[in-house]
Amino acid sequence: MPYYIERGEIPPKRHTQFRNPAGDLHFEELLSRKGFSGEHTNMYHLRMPTRLAAVGRFMERQLQEAKGIPHRHRHLRTGKVNSSGGPIGSRQVLFYNDDVIISKAHPDETLNSFYRNGQADELLYVQSGKGTLATNLGNIAFVPGDYVVIPRGVIWQMSFDEPTRFLIMETRGSIDVPDRYVSDRGQLLEHAPFCERDLKLPDFQAPIDEQGEYRLMVRLQGGIQEYIYAQHPFDLVGWAGQCYPWAFSIHDFEPITGRIHQPPPVHQTFQAAGLVICSFVPRLFDYHPQSIPAPYYHSNVDSDEIIFYSRGEFMSRKGIEDESITYHPMGLPHGPQPGMYEGSIGKQETDELAVMIDTFAPLKVAAAAMGIDDEHYPMSWSE
C-alpha cells in the first residue's frame, strides 16, 4: 500500500525517450524506497530536477530532551502548546526516539517556500481546520480527522482555509497499512477496517513551466538545508508508481467489536518501523452479558503508549480534554481511573475519537513538553 496509479502524461515504457510535441526530451526521475528494491514512482519533468541556482545555508535543529525528570505517567494539555508560524516552524516536539518524532503544530502562516523531508516519512493528523497540501505529485485537500501521509522525498507546500492544528509523526521507516490487512498481491483484505475506496489520492495539477529562484528546505539529520532551485519544482508532466502522498479519514475507520473487550491491535491503522498507530472511533461496546466495557488494567513492559484525545467522552479517564495527550511509559501499569472500571458496566457505546501511538523503544520527553505537563496526573489513580 498504496497501490499503483498513473497521473498526467507518461511514456509507454520506463527509461525510454519521452518528448513533447516540439521534440524536446522530458527528464525522468525515480523516487524509490529501499534503494532500487522497494516501492517507487517514475516522474517526468520539463527540466532536469537537479538544476540549482544556489546552495543556501544549513540551519541546525537539535532535539532537546527534558533532563532530570522522573519516570512517570504524564498528561500533556497540548491545546495550550506554544506554537505559531508555518507548518514547519510551528512544530513543537513533545516526544522522540530513533524511530519517531511526535510533535504538535498550530500553524498560522502559509508555507510559501517548498519543503522536502529527506530523512523521515510524515503522518499529519488534522485535529482542526481545513487546507490544501500542494505537492509535486498533486494536491490533497484536508479536513478535520484526516490522516495525511507524506513519504520522504515528496516536495510540498501548504495553505490553509481556516486555523489548523496538527498532531505530527515523523518516522524513520515508511508509513504503511498493517501487513495483516494486505494480501500477498497488495490488496486490502475483507477483514481490514477500511479499503482502497476510502483513500484520498493526489489531484494531479498541470506542470508549472517557470524559471527563476525557488527556495526549497530539505529536512536532514540535525537540521534543515536550504537550496535555491532554478525552476519551479512542480514541473511534472506526469508520473506513475506507488510512492506518493495520500490521506485517510479517521471517520472512515470501521471499528471491530466483540462480545468482550477487544485489545488495541483491532484499532491499528498504520505501522512503521518501531511503532504502530491506532484509531479509537465511536463504536458499540461489548455485548457479553458480563462484559466490562472499560479497558482492563495492563502493564506496558515492551512499549511506550501515547494517546492523543481528539474529541468526545472518554469513559476511562477524568480530567481529559480535547487535544490532551497521555503518556504511559513501559514498566508501569495503567488503566481506568477510580470508579471508571465498574462505572462502565452496562454502557452501550462510546463517542470518542483518539489516536494511539505505541513505540517499541522508550520515548524521550522533549523539553517543550514540560510547560504543559500535568504534574498531578500520576496520582489520578489514587482513591
DSSP assignments along 307-328, one per residue: EEEEEE--TT-SS--TTEEEEE
User: What whole-number distance in Å separates Cα of residue 219 and Cα of residue 225?
Assistant: 7
Q: Is the pLDDT of residue 315 over 70?
A: no
> What pLDDT is recorded for position 1?
64
> What pLDDT is recorded for position 320?
84
Instruction: Answer for the pair 178, 271: CB distance below 8 angstroms, yes or no.
Output: yes
Chain-centroid distance, C-alpha 62: 21
Q: Is the pLDDT of residue 52 over 90?
A: yes
| Residues 341, 344, 345, 351, CA torsion sign | negative
Q: Which of 312, 317, 381 is nearest to 349 (CA)?
A: 312
Q: Is the pLDDT of residue 364 over 90?
A: yes
C-alpha cell at 170: 515523523
Q: Is 12 left (phi over 0), alpha (psi -120 to 50) or beta?
A: alpha
Q: Is the pLDDT of residue 117 over 70?
A: yes
Q: Is the pLDDT of residue 10 over 90?
A: yes
What percentage of the chain reaches a pLDDT higher than 70?
99
> What pLDDT is recorded for position 350?
86
- Residue 93: what residue type? V
> What pLDDT is recorded for position 372?
95
In this prediction, residue 383 has a pLDDT band, given cuts at 50, 70 and 90, of low
Give, in order, the Cα–Cα distances in Å from 189 to each of 11, 196, 223, 227, 326.
32, 10, 40, 43, 32
Question: How does pLDDT run across 39-50, given as a tens digit for each residue?
Answer: 999 999 999 999
Question: How does pLDDT run across 53-111, given as a tens digit for each residue?
Answer: 999 999 999 999 999 999 999 999 999 998 889 999 999 999 999 999 999 999 988 88
Domains detected in the chain: 254-381 (2.60.120.10)
Give, in order, the Cα–Cα distances in Å from 217 to each of 30, 58, 92, 108, 156.
20, 9, 18, 19, 10
For 177-241, the DSSP string reads --GGGB-TTSPBPTTSSS-GGGEEPPB-------EEEEEEEEEETTEEEEEEEEE-S--EEEEEE
Mean pLDDT of 334-358: 89
> What pLDDT is recorded for position 261?
87
Q: Quote the pTM value.
A: 0.95
Mean pLDDT of 282-291: 89
Instruction: Answer for the pair 231, 51: CB distance below 8 angstroms, yes or no.
Output: yes
C-alpha cell at 104: 504538535
